[in-house]
Amino acid sequence: MRRKIGWLLIAVGLLLILTPLLGKGYGYYSQFLMRQELERDKRAAGPAALAPETPPCIRPPFLLTIPAISLEAVVVEGTESKALSKGPGLDARGVYPGMPGNVIIAAHRNVFGAWFRELDELQQGDEIFISSGGKKITYIVESVQTVPDDDLSVLKPSASSSLTLITCDLPVSSGRRIVVRALPAET
């Protein structure tokens, strides 16, 4: 009986150890597949994709690049758990990049790929790029703030174009969120 309990405890321990690793592995594998798809789409579109479009509306999946924190991740549609397990998610309360309004992207900081783990390290003036199929939009960080979980004012629609990146503050039970607000770069 003791031996069975011992093996059961070992199995439970392994399961507890492997679960986060499998989740992170799934996130990275999903990102790998989506990047390949973006590259195929870019090659298939050819030079026509490089022609300027006004406005350059970009729909998921698209690439989010933040050089200041060495982030390059494919953004997916939606913020439900299944979507966020694959990468940062475009929140339905916002608009698509390139449209007037607030583009809202959420991601985890501590599970799956932990895409926004260093989001709080951004500073005013840092660049954020959103690109897909030869289209590219540059945003400049305006502010980085920590707000209470129940402060939804950061998700409100806006008349002008803006980008809001949002994640939890650590520890997760702190009841606070990190919010980065960025504006399109002047061209």
* 97-145: pLDDT as tens digits: 999 999 999 998 887 778 999 999 999 999 999 999 889 999 999 999 9
Q: Sign of torsion, CA 14 20 25 30? A: positive
* Residue range of the domain that includes 62: 44-184
Q: Which of 27, 95, 105, 108 is catalytic?
A: 108
168 is catalytic: yes
Residue at 30 is within a domain: no
Residue at 25 is within a domain: no
Q: Are 93 and 154 in contact (CB under 8 A)?
A: no
Of residues 51 and 26, which shows the higher confidence score?
26
Residue at 145 is within a domain: yes
Q: In the predicted model, what is the mean pLDDT of residues 59-81?
A: 96
Q: Which of 168, 178, 179, 182 is catalytic?
A: 168
Residue at 86 is within a domain: yes
Across the chain, which distance is largest between two alpha carbons, in Å? 73
Residue 128, Cβ density class (10 Å: 0-12 exposed, 13-18 middle, ≥19 buried): buried
Strand-pairing partners, residue 183, are 140
Q: Are 139 and 105 in contact (CB under 8 A)?
A: no
Residue with tokens 């973006």: 38
Would you place residue 30 in the very low, low, confident or very high pLDDT band (cuts 50, 70, 90)?
confident
110 is catalytic: no
Indicate the number of domains in the chain: 1
Residue 149, domain CATH: 2.40.260.10
